[in-house]
Amino acid sequence: MLSEGSSFVKGIALGGTFCLLLSLLGSFAPGMQSSPEDHHHHHIKAPTKDELQSLSDSQMVELSQRVRVYCVIMVQPSVLVYWSTAKDTWGKHCDQAVFYSSESAKALEAVDLNEQDEWAKLRKALKHAYDNAGDLRWFFVARPTTFAIIENLKYLILAKDPNEPFYIGHAMKSGELEYVEYQSGIVLSYEALKRLVNVFKDEEKCPERGRALWKLSEEKQLAICLKYTGVFAENGEDTQGKGLFNSKSVGSLIQDSMNKNNLDVVEGCCSDLAITFSGMSPNQMQVMMFGVYRLRPYGHNFHDSLIFLPPEGSDND
Amino acid sequence: MTRQRCCDHSDKEELLETRRGREEVTMKGLSGSRCCFYMGFLVGTLSLYFLRQVWFEMSMEPDVLGEGQDSSVAALSKKRQASDSNNWRMEGATLINLNHPHHIGEDSSVADELYRKVRILCWVMTGPSNLQTKARHVKATWSRHCNVVVFMSSIDDPDFPTVGLGTGEGRDQLYWKTIRAFHYALEHHGNDADWFLKADDDTFVVVDNLRWVLSNHTPEEPLYFGKRFKPYAKQGYMSGGAGYVLSKEALRRFVEGFKTKVCTHTTSVEDLALGQCLEKMGVLAMDSRDTLQRETFHPFVPEHHLTGKFSKSFWYWSYCYYPIVEGPRCCSDLAVSFHYVDAELMYTLEYWTYHLRAYGYRYRYRPPLSQGLVERQAQTERPTVGTAGRGRTPAGITVGGDGDQSKAESGAKPLSDKGGKETLGKIPIDNNRTAVTQERQG
């Protein structure tokens, strides 16, 4: 009896271990360097204070050197006012802000893509960004009608390794496809961009001119191409689960909150460390600079783990 | 055979059959322990497989977007209702603030100190028809930062609550309401506050910044602060819409003036009339601008001051006591008030002031505190200039900015590095901060 019992137990143990081994082996598909868990978690949360404080000083140094953002700002002459506003407002907070235009404009400097098709423009711009990244490892793609707070973006991705594929923003779902909404800004890590640039060469998986009967928007095209390389859209959230990427303006979100629950309008609106808003006029963006970078109540201090200095030669922040 | 197919779901039935088969074989006399071993193997594999599936699904659950958010908002709503009664004590029509609103994760020791030392009574000029459309939003936002709040109306309303001043409504009643409101404030709350703020129900006030402005002054002096206008009064007077503040002594003199008939109801232009009365009573109209001469009280909305161009024929040009500045320098970082603020902008301003910030951003303008609070400040500032609670200078800094700049200066620099680079500048741990900001502003 005893020998049978112990055999049984040995069998269970061996069977269990074997099953685990097989599942681990099964996840080792070629080209994927990280465990599947990363890509099935569809939310990226900002680090908590405790997490940051548990890091050593040298780790913080390393992180602060790593978290530098290359802004890819897709413009065209028809939005000249927004273009110049982005340049004069949030663009100054990028480590490098490069404007990519469909055609050249005399008034403002940009990389002339000489292209009208939205998806083709985006491809060219991303390829150019990848080639010219220097030592920058994070990419933020937006149109100038979006307003971004780059410091809060850096905070979100602070503890993330850019050598892992990340594709972050306001994650939306269209049927089976999860994609990041263009209007609220798209964040790509270096690895994600590398894979993307690679898959651009594959006309089957990632064609330059869409072959479908209906034309897919460029944000969805991007998601499809990235999906082929094993990179999935993730929703950027703060430590309380509030979305950090917004496709509406502050005023609009406040209005929504007012219509929903009268008692907690501000709490129910948006995150304290929101990264993007959209749909504001150029003047409103200037006011945002005041609201984000200047206006504050005296005597309230946040002992943040990093310090970001204001940009040179600027007076609206 | 079994081993190759262990984790394949579709072969479960086959496995069960095989197991049955084995049992039969066992009954035919194969060694019992061997059979148990195989059975154990199967059980272990299958159970771990299912366990893994379950664990996997559980880790996917947070994918339900939005649900979590809704429930937390509802919970907050309930909390706010509860905390409303924890935050205010109603004394008749007056709201006495029990707690200074706090934010998670912030160190508001300096603000709390100012809250205790610079006590402000805020009275809000409103009327019965404005309670639900305007005054309600004032109550939900900035008035929570005052030490004492009173909503002044023509009629008593015990629910809101408002004080009934016994006047009529309308522009011609404004000065009557003001006179009675200040009398009420002194009579009922003369000892509960040091400074007395008047605001409209479409004024937004950053009370913490008002405390900073007032911190260098004593309420025993006859002083009054606001957005200073120049015409009609020698020393000027303060705009009513942008809000103005009287020291306790100034309020005493105002009330005294009416008692002795030195002041009377001269005109319904409330701000001018009040200014003229105060001038007669020897109250000084003060300069409320910040250390860089930027205005703090504003008679219009932020967008108007920051981006608007006032036409040269606009009355504003001839009214302002100090030179008008358009563009970003119009307004202090430590702005105190804005006017013509509708409901949506009230909450938006509350969000910008008390909630939305740029993580880790070091403000360009970091003004000094008054002498009385200096010692306490020096103690709390050391860790602030360093990093969060480590008690030593941080090793990590990132320079935000354009290409060249970041190339030259990127990477970690300890804050104590006083190298000649302009962006780092001097980061004093003493109180000599004005020097740094003045250098920067050049």
Band of residue A137 on the pLDDT scale cut at 50, 70, 90: very high
Instruction: Please tell me which of the candidates B106, B394, B410 has its beta carbon nearest to residue A307.
Output: B394
Cβ pair A287:B106 closer than 8 A? no
**Mind giving me the DSSP string for B206-236?**
-HHHHHHHHTTS-TTS-EEEESEE-TTSTT-
B425 pLDDT above the threshold of 80 = no
Instruction: Please tell me which of the candidates A19, A93, A257 has its beta carbon nearest to residue B49.
Output: A19
CA distance B160 to chain A (A): 14
Helical pair B12-27 and B32-60, crossing angle rounded to 10 deg: 160
Structure tokens at B99: 């707690």
CA distance A197 to chain B (A): 23
A153: closest chain B residue by CA: B359
CA distance A218 to chain B (A): 24
Task: Give residues 52 to 71 of B whose Cβ lies within 8 Å of A.
Answer: 52, 56, 59-60, 62-63, 65, 68-69
Kindly state the helix (H) or strand (E) to which residue B125 belongs, with its residue range: strand B120-125
CA distance B176 to chain A (A): 33
Show residues of chain A in contact with B52, CB under 8 Å: 19-20, 23
3-state SS class at A74: strand
Show residues of chain A in contact with B107, CB under 8 Å: 300-303
Q: Which pLDDT belongs to residue A105?
A: 81
A155 phi/psi in degrees, rounded to 5: -65, -40
| Nearest by Cα to A167 from A30, A38, A28 | A38
Cβ pair B76:A264 closer than 8 A? yes
Cβ pair B344:A254 closer than 8 A? yes
Between CA B309 and CA A304 the distance in angstroms is: 37
Cβ pair B357:A18 closer than 8 A? no
Q: Which pLDDT belongs to residue A291?
A: 96
Residue B237 DSSP one-character state: E
Cβ pair A57:B355 closer than 8 A? no
pLDDT digits (tens, 9 = 90+) for B268-325: 999 999 999 999 999 999 999 999 999 999 999 999 999 988 787 788 888 999 999 9
B132 vs A: CB within 8 A: no
**Identity of the highest mean pLDDT range in A214-228, B103-117, B174-188:** B174-188
**Mind giving me the DSSP string for B150-204?**
EEEESS-BTTTTBEE-S---SGGGHHHHHHHHHHHHHHHHTTT-SEEEEEETTEE
B441: closest chain A residue by CA: A315
Kind of pairing between the strands at B88-91 and B94-97: antiparallel
A77: left (phi over 0), alpha (psi -120 to 50) or beta: alpha
Structure tokens at B144: 């929570």
Show residues of chain B in contact with A37, CB under 8 Å: 59
Show residues of chain B in contact with A272, CB under 8 Å: 103, 355-357
Q: Which one has a higher pLDDT value, B188 or B70? A: B188
B357 pLDDT above the threshold of 50 = yes
Q: Which pLDDT belongs to residue B62?
A: 45
pLDDT digits (tens, 9 = 90+) for B123-143: 999 999 999 999 999 999 999
Cβ pair A7:B34 closer than 8 A? yes
B205 pLDDT above the threshold of 50 = yes
Question: E strands, B227-316, where?
Answer: 228-229, 237-238, 244-247, 284-285
Instruction: Please tell me which of the candidates A272, A295, A306 has its beta carbon nearest to residue B360.
Output: A306
Mean pLDDT throughout B94-113? 83
Return the minimum-mean-pLDDT range out of A172-176, A287-291, B395-399: B395-399
A31 pLDDT above the threshold of 60 = no
B35 pLDDT above the threshold of 50 = yes
Q: Which pLDDT belongs to residue B427?
A: 35
Q: Which pLDDT belongs to residue A62?
A: 80
pLDDT digits (tens, 9 = 90+) for B400-416: 333 333 333 333 333 33
> Do residues A89 and A149 make contact, with C-beta atoms less than 8 angstroms apart?
no
Between CA A230 and CA A307 the distance in angstroms is: 34
**ipTM, 2 dp:** 0.85
A250: closest chain B residue by CA: B348
Mean pLDDT throughout B203-217? 96
A305 pLDDT above the threshold of 90 = no
Q: Which pLDDT belongs to residue A274?
A: 97
B329 vs A: CB within 8 A: yes
The answer to pTM > 0.80 is no
CA distance A207 to chain B (A): 30
Between CA A228 and CA B93 the distance in angstroms is: 66
pLDDT digits (tens, 9 = 90+) for A105-119: 888 889 998 888 899
CA distance A9 to chain B (A): 6
Band of residue B22 on the pLDDT scale cut at 50, 70, 90: low
